[in-house]
Amino acid sequence: MSGGTIVYKTAEEIEYIRNSSLLVGKTLAEVAKNLKPGVTTSSLDAIAEKFIRDHGATPSFKGYHGFKHTLCISVNEEVVHGMPGARVIKEGDVVSVDCGAFMNGYHGDSAYTFPVGEVNEDTLQLLRVTKTSLLKGIEQAKVGNRIGDISATIQSYAEKNGYGVVRELVGHGIGKQLHEKPEVANYGKRGSGPQLKAGMTIAIEPMINRGTRSIIQLKDGWTIITGDRKPSAHFEHTIAITEAGPDILSTFSYIELAIEENSYITEKIETLA
């Protein structure tokens, strides 16, 4: 993670981050339009890279610590950092797609997990809980609260539903660097960690497993899988801390419009009460 201090953003800088984050949402929508059984993860990656570059931006992930792709595409038991390649998407897969875009000097970052075709109800519930945990975490991103308030809220909600919360991978600050301080864990204690102040920009990204919280890194040096090979889900928003409350800079709206138009994605992931 870059640097040792939190970088606070001006209102103008937050708008730059918003623009990059909105482009990420539109890119993920392009992926959603093309996501179906029979497509390769590399073909989805190519669509995303072209879309980002056609809009005057560059992929944040490509070249980052040697990563060679635009997207992280993680299927079923893969938690995060799955590398696009020859893998073919199949009926019943759940596919996490994580994307970053760099434009006008600032990064945006977001992720969404898609159910492809008929996915079993237990796994669909995992996706619903993970998405809801993200929104509940964001509700805690208020001036005067602490990072631990976000972390503990995500953890308690996911664990209350019987799921494993990944601890080794965390959310992060974001701005001119893709990964800045502070780290935003998905577990922790309320009232702990850095205090939230106006001008902070962070990416909150619950990574929740249907079974154990333990993970394994594959020999490719990137892909993370669940220790028990059960499915995992991942949703992410980039947000700004403001005096008026949390401001979500990324969006799922383009993605969810694309889902409604894609007959191969048969379940729209609704948040829970």
Residue 266 falls inside a structural domain: no
Q: Is the dihedral of CA 98, 219, 206, 122 positive or negative?
A: positive
Q: Per-residue pLDDT for 233 more than 90?
A: yes
- 230 part of a folded domain: yes
> What pLDDT is recorded for position 2?
45
pLDDT per residue as tens digits for the range 106-143: 999 999 999 999 999 999 999 999 999 999 999 999 99
User: Does residue 79 lie within any of the structural domains?
Assistant: yes
Q: What percent of the chain has pLDDT over 90?
A: 97
Confidence of residue 4 (pLDDT cuts 50, 70, 90): confident
What percent of the chain clears pLDDT 70, i.e. is strictly above it? Answer: 99
State the residue for tokens 């249907």. Answer: 210
Give the angle subtended at the CA of 80 by the CAs of 220 and 76, to the nearest 5°: 95
- Token pair for residue 121? 């109800």
pLDDT at 131: 98
Q: Could you report the per-residue pLDDT of 147-184, keeping only the tens digit for each?
A: 999 999 999 999 999 999 999 999 999 999 999 999 99
Provide the pLDDT for residue 273: 74
Residue 1: what pLDDT? 46
Q: Angle, nearest 10°, between helix axes 147-160 and 121-139?
A: 160
Contact in structure between 246 and 202 (CB atoms under 8 Å): no
In the chain, the number of structural domains is 1
Is 272 part of any domain?
no
Give a yes or no: residue 269 inside a domain.
no
Q: What is the CATH number of the domain that holds 249?
A: 3.90.230.10
> Is 52 contained in some domain?
yes
Domain that holds residue 137: 11-261
Mean predicted confidence (pLDDT) in 35-47 = 98
